[in-house]
Structure 1
Amino acid sequence: MTLPRPELDPELRTALADMPLVPRLDAELLAQLRPLSSTPIEPLLDGRAVDRREVTIPGPDGVRIPLTILRPAQTDQTNRTDRDDHAGPAPCVYWIHGGGMVMGDRYSQIDIPLEWLDRFGVVVVSVDYRLAPEASGTTLVDDCYTGLVWTAEHAVELGIDPARIVVVGASAGGGLAAGVTLMARDRHAPAIAAQVLIGPMLDHRNGTTSSRQYSGEPGVWTRESNEFGWRSVLGEAAGGGRPVPAYVSPALADDLSGLPTTYIDAGSAEVFRDEAVDYATRIWAAGGQAELHVWAGGCHGFDALFPQVPVSAAARRTRSDWLARSLGNVPVHQHERIG
């Protein structure tokens, strides 16, 4: 039986009408989608004063992990004012991309943190973790954690303030960001100032009301596609065959105390709505600080897919304003003030 579900935002519904939607992801479709799951970064950097650096670092098993580092380019000091002087270390956004843990790369959805580079002068570090099903178990979150540790250890070299590193992820990246933050808490390093979980993929059990609401019909990300993604990462463990680590499926974590201040958002019309709400609720119950936004009529990934739609613009603006408050004393970048 199809459950009643919240209505999509009317403008999102119009935008989605021109987008091919599928009821479920499988191996054959994944092979077709992977080449399309990321766009080149060069058009996004065109016209931006950004210095780009590409590095690879050794993963836990010796496999090299690519990182992209983006920072505001040095400008002519004679044209700067005290207010846009970025002398001293900058905040860092450690970006973890989405893609259901099975597709995407370090450039996926990177327009989101690039807005913060423009507005706040943050350094963006984006990690290219390995994907399932080729990689499985804790490999994906281990890759992300390794990149975060490297970033913190090289903070001085990168011009980063190690006290203002924010871990941010969207969709699968949101779940990985939550897992990385749990790892950092449990291992007592590195320090994380805040975490931002955007439509996060947090719970492999896939049994919430919102998961069941978005099942059986085509969509951006359905319950069936979610099952495929989790099965690709967990194999037999996805069906309860063996224990699942909480670092991989953060909703399983028994203890959510001691986490940095957290921002969580999701759409009301998506699979991940209820697990996002539950995660925020459990952070509050543990005495932590979390800000939660559920955007009425938002589908999964709405603000990344259709940033021009009013509800998307509101979501992105609200998230940016929270980040500004959380980072504190972040100077506004030159071109953000113009107009």
Structure 2
Amino acid sequence: MSSRHLVDPELLPFLESFPTININAENLPAVREMNRAGLALLPPLPETAVMEERFIPGPAGAPDVRVKLYRRKDGAKGPRPAILHLHGGGYISGNPEFMGPQCALWAELFDAVVVSPAYRLAPETSYPGNVEDAYAATAWMNREAASLGLDPARIAVTGESAGGGLSAALALLVRDRGEYRFCHQQLIFPMLDDRTAVRADLSPMYGEFIWTNGSNHFGWASLLGQPPGSPDVSPYAAAARAESLAGLPPTFISTGALDLFTEENLEYARRLMAEGVPVELHVYPGAPHAYMRDMRAKVSRTYMRDALAGMARGLGVAFEG
């Protein structure tokens, strides 16, 4: 049974231009190359934003982490809010450059310092390489807060898809290690639960387009180094495995109604609310995975309005979208 009849008609051209691929070990190199080629289609960064690349200390015994750093040219001299952005790609592909326009927009609108690391990917590096790289970026932002001009009390973490799942896992790790804190987590159709990949009862209305459960199974197996659904998966790999979500920062979660991750996202939001975490939850009708890549659709523009307003509230900055 197909879910195509449920897709927002304004998003159908997006589906036609973005063919669904079941990613596996054989075609992963081609998928990565296709992603890199797509960087040439990105719009230029606004002239009001400054971007620089740095290499920061990685986890003990691991390579340095490449990060992209975005700031507003005429930004405030005093401490500014900051955003740690973790890119998507199923834990197996992607790069921080792909969301460069979004990072520059945050820097411009919120006068924020935005840091986007190129964390290590699976299967070349399995868990915990990705989350430890993200933790190293968190540590660097706090350690270099004065030189970066950021306020360590106002650092938000955010990401899309695998980046959203990694953001959630990192928020758990930061909570449990107790060295730093996030003021806000913004999870955009986050990849939270490896068990989705082995569910027999998942409705065919979820995950038909863009990111399928075939790709999902490969992504999780690559990250975990074992089959998804195994009994000993760490919550710092799959945040839905956490026994408690208490003490996490206020959370914004959004997903599309046709996304493979819809049910796990709704369940994570429910658990957060049940444990006293403030949650803002959005589910957009007719929207498959990654739908907001097409800003011609009204549902995508609605998402952007909600997401920018949610980030502004999370950072404690004034914003009129």
TM-score, scaled relative to structure 2: 0.92
Tell me whether 1:312 sits opposite 2:300 in the alignment.
Answer: yes
Deviation at 1:108, TM superposition (A): 2.1
1:67 match: 67
| Equivalence for 1:328 | 316
Structure 2 CA distance for aligned equivalents of residues 169 and 297 of structure 1 = 21
Q: Give SS of 1:238's match.
A: coil
Equivalence for 2:29: 31
Please tell me whether residue 117 in structure 1 is matched to residue 107 in structure 2.
yes
1:67–1:128 CA contact under 8 A, matched in 2 = yes
Task: Trace 1:96-115 onto structure 2 (pairs within 5 A).
Answer: 96-115=86-105
Matched, 1:130 2:120: yes
CA deviation vs aligned residue, 1:71-108 (integer Å, no higher than 9, x gap): 0113xxxxxxxxxx724111111100000000011112
**1:74-113 correspondence runs (5 A):** 74=74, 86-113=76-103
The offset of 1:10, in angstroms, is 0.9
Query: Take 1:165 and 1:211, find their aligned partners in 2: how far apart are those partners?
Result: 37
For 2:248, which of 253, 259, 264 is the aligned residue?
259
Moved more, 194-203 or 31-40: 31-40
Offset of residue 327 of structure 1: 2.0
Q: Identical aligned pairs, as a percentage?
A: 37
Structure 1 position 145, deviation (Å)? 1.1
User: Against the structure 1 CA distance between its residues 208 and 41, is the aligned structure 2 distance closer, same or farther, given a 3 Å change threshold?
Assistant: farther
Equivalent pairs counted in the alignment come to 317
3-state SS, counterpart of residue 115 of structure 2:
strand
Q: Which has the larger radius of gyration?
A: 1
Contact 1:6/1:269 (CA < 8 Å) preserved in 2?
no
| Alpha-carbon spacing, 1:170–1:279, altered in 2? closer, same or farther (3 Å) | same
Q: Structure 1: which amino acid aligns with 2:294?
A: F
Write the letter of the residue equivalent to 2:102. Answer: I
Distance 1:237 1:170, change over 3 A: same
Matched ranges for 1:182-221 at <5 A: 182-206=172-196, 207=199, 212-214=204-206, 219-221=209-211
AA matched with 1:73: K
* Residue 189 of structure 1, CA deviation: 2.3
SS in 2 for 1:98: coil
Q: Is the 8 A contact 1:100 1:226 kept in 2?
A: yes
- 1:14 CA drift (Å): 2.8
Q: TM-score, normalised by structure 1?
A: 0.87
Whether the 8 Å CA contact 1:209–1:274 is kept in 2: the answer is no
Is 1:270 the counterpart of 2:270? The answer is no
Letter in 1 for 2:58: G
What is the SS of the residue equivalent to 1:17? Answer: helix
Partner Cα separation in structure 2 for residue 256 and residue 212 of structure 1: 29
Please, which runs of 5 or more residues in structure 1 have no aligned partner?
Answer: 75-84
- The answer to whether the Cα contact below 8 Å between 1:5 and 1:269 also exists between their aligned partners in 2 is no
1:162-189 CA-to-partner distances (Å, cap 9, x unmatched) read: 1110001100000000011001100112
Q: How much does 1:52 deviate?
A: 2.1
Q: Residues 41 and 197 (structure 1 numbering): CA distance in 2 closer, same or farther, change over 3 Å?
A: farther
Q: Distance in 1 between matches of 2:163 and 2:203?
A: 18
Question: What is residue 49 of structure 2 aligned with on the other side?
Answer: 50
Q: Read off the aligned partner of 2:49 and give its amino acid letter.
A: V
1:98 and 1:108 in contact (8 A); partners too: no
